[in-house]
């Protein structure tokens, strides 16, 4: 087994919310990305014409330039306002919006115009809705599949652990069911407030219990104060709950009001960590500074399908 580098930072048990910081760490050279190009214009126009939200914009994804230039995007449904105060996410929080009944058709139309063969649909967390938005997710999956024939990957909230909501999304038979773990258990109260590590594991297990042939996927952000040993412990938990696909990426502070980056993990460390996780039995592991849950999701799913 490969040995990971020793992390000198000691874990802290402090879970109090971070105060906003005016100091942001300078990005290391391996985290530089190209400036926006004109090749992004078509994707941008489709999103604007159809009045859609994307996690690419709302979460300030560093890969937007690359993905939009290749005419791909991750659609975010159920509005652009989240009900959870996560410390890492730049999606707006506050008063939620009315769910628009024609959104599934608009998402399907966008997928058709962009020529997508693998469509990723995510959402804001909607704890205000009785089913957490599960029925809307169901309709989006079916609409995209009927309009395009594309494979559909869902990246859902935890639906507050409502088993019937999780089952409803499973009934749509998405090609991949993704739900992010985000961080290690010790940091949940600070990073992912109002969420539960065990609830995440339970959701992933339920999906696998109800649809054993449906690939499940999860992801973590690194650089928030976790140790590498804690990351490996989470990976082991995910494998025990049947997860086949894992993504590991670098957390980047979206604004000065969000949690600061505690550490920039170098690419070679991501490589070593990814190899450790593959040795645990994951079918696919994407591990690198710019890896995100939906980054190159189609390529990742197609590799899994060929195995």
Highest-pLDDT range among 11-15, 215-219, 294-298: 215-219
Q: Which pLDDT value is given to residue 14?
A: 42
Residue 181 phi, psi (nearest 5): -85, -35
- For residue 231, give Cα distances in angstroms to 75, 187, 247: 28, 11, 12
Residue-wise pLDDT for 64-86, tens only, equals: 667 777 677 889 999 999 999 88
- Residue in the structure block whose two tokens are 């996690």: 55
- Residue in the structure block whose two tokens are 């997928």: 111
- CA 221/CA 287 separation, integer angstroms: 10
Residue-wise pLDDT for 13-35, tens only, equals: 444 444 444 456 677 777 766 55
CA dihedral (44, 128, 122, 200) in degrees, to 10, reads 150
Quote the mean pLDDT of the chain. 86
Alpha helices in 80-162 (DSSP H): 103-114, 134-148
Residue-wise pLDDT for 187-205, tens only, equals: 999 999 889 999 999 999 9
Q: Which pLDDT value is given to residue 2?
A: 45
Residue-wise pLDDT for 88-109, tens only, equals: 887 888 889 899 999 999 999 9
Q: Which pLDDT value is given to residue 17?
A: 45
Q: What is the mean pLDDT of residues 49-57?
A: 86
Residue-wise pLDDT for 108-161, tens only, equals: 999 999 999 999 999 999 999 999 999 999 999 999 999 999 999 999 999 999
């Amino acid at each position: 087994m490969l040995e990971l580098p020793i992390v000198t930072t000691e874990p802290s048990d402090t879970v109090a919310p971070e105060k906003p910081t005016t100091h942001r760490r300078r990005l290391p050279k391996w985290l530089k990305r190209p400036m926006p190009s004109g090749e992004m214009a078509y994707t941008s126009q489709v999103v604007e014409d159809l009045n859609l939200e994307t996690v690419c914009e709302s979460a300030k994804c560093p890969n937007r330039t690359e993905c939009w230039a290749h005419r791909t995007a991750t659609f975010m449904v159920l509005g652009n306002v989240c009900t959870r105060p996560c410390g890492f996410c730049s999606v707006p929080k506050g008063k939620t919006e009315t769910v628009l009944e024609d959104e599934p058709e608009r998402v399907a139309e966008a997928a058709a115009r962009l020529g997508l063969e693998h469509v990723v649909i995510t959402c804001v967390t909607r704890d205000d809705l009785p089913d957490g938005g599960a029925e809307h997710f169901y309709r989006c999956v079916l609409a995209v599949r009927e309009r395009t024939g594309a494979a559909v990957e869902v990246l859902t909230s935890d639906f507050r652990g409502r088993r019937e909501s999780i089952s409803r999304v499973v009934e749509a038979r998405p090609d991949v069911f993704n739900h992010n773990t985000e961080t290690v258990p010790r940091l949940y109260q600070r990073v992912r407030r109002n969420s539960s590590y065990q609830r995440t594991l339970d959701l992933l297990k339920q999906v696998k219990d109800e649809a054993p042939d449906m690939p499940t996927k999860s992801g973590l952000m690194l650089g928030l104060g976790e140790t590498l040993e804690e990351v490996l412990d989470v990976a082991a938990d995910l494998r025990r709950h049947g997860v086949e696909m894992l993504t590991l990426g670098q957390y980047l502070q979206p604004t000065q009001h969000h949690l600061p980056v505690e550490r920039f993990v170098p690419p070679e460390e991501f490589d070593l960590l990814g190899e450790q996780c593959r040795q645990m039995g994951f079918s696919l592991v994407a591990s690198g500074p710019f890896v995100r849950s939906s980054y190159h999701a189609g390529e990742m799913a197609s590799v899994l399908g060929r195995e």
